[in-house]
Amino acid sequence: MEIVVLKFGGTSVGTIEKIKKVAEIISIYRKKKYKVIVVSSAMSGVTNELVKKSRQISENFSEAEYDSLVSSGEQVSCSLIAGRLIHKGFKSRSWLAWQIPILTKGIHKNSRIYQINKKKIIQYLNQGGIPVITGFQGINEKDRLTTIGRGGSDASAIMLAKFFNAKRCIIYTDVEGVYTTDPNKLKKAKKIKVISYEEMLEMASLGAKVMQPVSIQDARLNRIDIEVKSSFINKPGTTITKRSNIINNKIITGISSTHNDAKVTLVGVKDKPGVAATIFKPLSKNLINVDMVVQNISPNGKETDLTFTIKSEDLSKTQKILKENTSINYRKLLFEKGVSKISIIGVGMITTPGVTYRMFQTLANKKINIQVISTSEIKISVLINKKNSKEALAALHKEFKLDK
């Protein structure tokens, strides 16, 4: 009998009614003669509430106690699921991370799973039981509870699939899968049937809503195929797998857009070693996430312009840091809110020439000005005025045949 790992997200177990539905889904796999390992997140909103409580107790709440506190939501949902399965006549029980144990390394709040003891779970599966395992938590070498980052039950599921050599790993959530672009921004967005790990990681702004990015990295390293689907509607979802498993005739798999970016330009900075590092060091110290960075070639070899983008909410802090940084010299400092980054993503562009041109021509046809360009092997991003972002998204979606 093959093993299948079924993971349920917070919204899938958000109410008692939904938990009953989840037990229904689990029982279908059990009846199909799979050995089923269930992983659950906390009921939606619960983890946030617990985080809030910790802050009310102390601004410097102990990190070890934080992990013990915020991982408690998973105990509740797992017991409720197991209880419902027992009610339906199945053999089931909840397992907390320490009871297995699931071993983690690293700092509190952000540990990584490195080992899972299989013995007890295998024994239980062989007896026909359905183990319901808490996602998000583990224990460290001191037997303290740890958590593996917000949204971490995805990574728990991937690691369980890895250690138990599961045939399938299915992530049940509140969306039907990964879309070619955000369906809230473009009605024509289509569900993607298959996507590579790399594309999924690049689709950060789309993908991150569906799965925790580090869990996709875990899946990629361990070659675990993931299926993301809705727990409310019984329809095929999106499979995330390695590139060589994908026979795809589309060049572009998806388009992502941001809508809340700001652009900063330092005009006339010295063109010499160490300048860029001097500019970005205090930003990184202040945890300001810099996204696109472009430096012009300097026509005279003395001065150059440097442009970068950040989230709009970091703009005033960035302005302050740059103005106070006396070790950088520049002629002018320019800031612009209201820019949007549009990225086309697809492994197909590696082997298809002319994708860059097609993207630029499509925007040119709409008279949309490109302010900054950056590329990776499987992604081309442009920065444009925010007011054009919807139009750009629609035009590119059509150009690369994602409407169909």
- 152 is in the binding site of which of ligand ASP, Mg ion, none (Cβ under 5 to 8 A by kind)? ligand ASP
**Half-sphere exposure of residue 78: CA atoms within 13 angstroms, side-chain side:** 27
The DSSP letter of residue 1 is -
Site string for ligand ASP, 269-298 (x = CB under 6 A): ------------------------------
What is the nearest approach in angstroms of Mg ion to the Cβ of residue 154?
A: 6
The pair of structure tokens assigned to 399 is 């150009």
Q: Could you say whether residue 11 binds ligand ASP (CB under 6 A)?
A: no
- 190 is in the binding site of which of ligand ASP, Mg ion, none (Cβ under 5 to 8 A by kind)? none
For Mg ion, which is the closer residue by CB, 135 or 348? 135
- 177 is in the binding site of which of Mg ion, ligand ASP, none (Cβ under 5 to 8 A by kind)? none
The pair of structure tokens assigned to 353 is 């020439």
**How many whole angstroms separate alpha carbon 64 and alpha carbon 103?**
15
Of 135, 177, 237, 254, which lies in the binding site for ligand ASP, with binding defined by CB under 6 A? 135
The pair of structure tokens assigned to 314 is 């970091």
Of 13, 22, 37, 42, which lies in the binding site for ligand ASP, with binding defined by CB under 6 A? 42
Count of residues that bind ligand ASP according to CB under 6 A: 12
Alpha helices in 223-308 (DSSP H): 275-285
Q: Could you say whether residue 152 binds ligand ASP (CB under 6 A)?
A: yes
Backbone angles phi, psi at 26, to 5 degrees: -60, -40
Q: Could you say whether residue 254 binds ligand ASP (CB under 6 A)?
A: no
Q: Which of 321, 189, 336 is nearest to 261 (CA)?
A: 336
Looking only at the bridges linking them, the beta strands covering 303-311 and 261-270 are antiparallel
For Mg ion, which is the closer residue by CB, 158 or 252? 158
Q: Which of 304, 159, 314, 317 is nearest to 226 (CA)?
A: 159
- Give, to the nearest 10 degrees, the angle between helix 63-70 and helix 46-57: 150
Q: Could you say whether residue 9 binds Mg ion (CB under 5 A)?
A: yes
- 253 is in the binding site of which of ligand ASP, Mg ion, none (Cβ under 5 to 8 A by kind)? none
**How many whole angstroms separate alpha carbon 282 and alpha carbon 274?**
13
What is the nearest approach in angstroms of ligand ASP to the Cβ of residue 207?
A: 15
Chain residues that interact with Mg ion, rule: CB under 5 A: 9, 151
Chain residues that interact with ligand ASP, rule: CB under 6 A: 10, 41-42, 47, 73, 135-136, 150-154
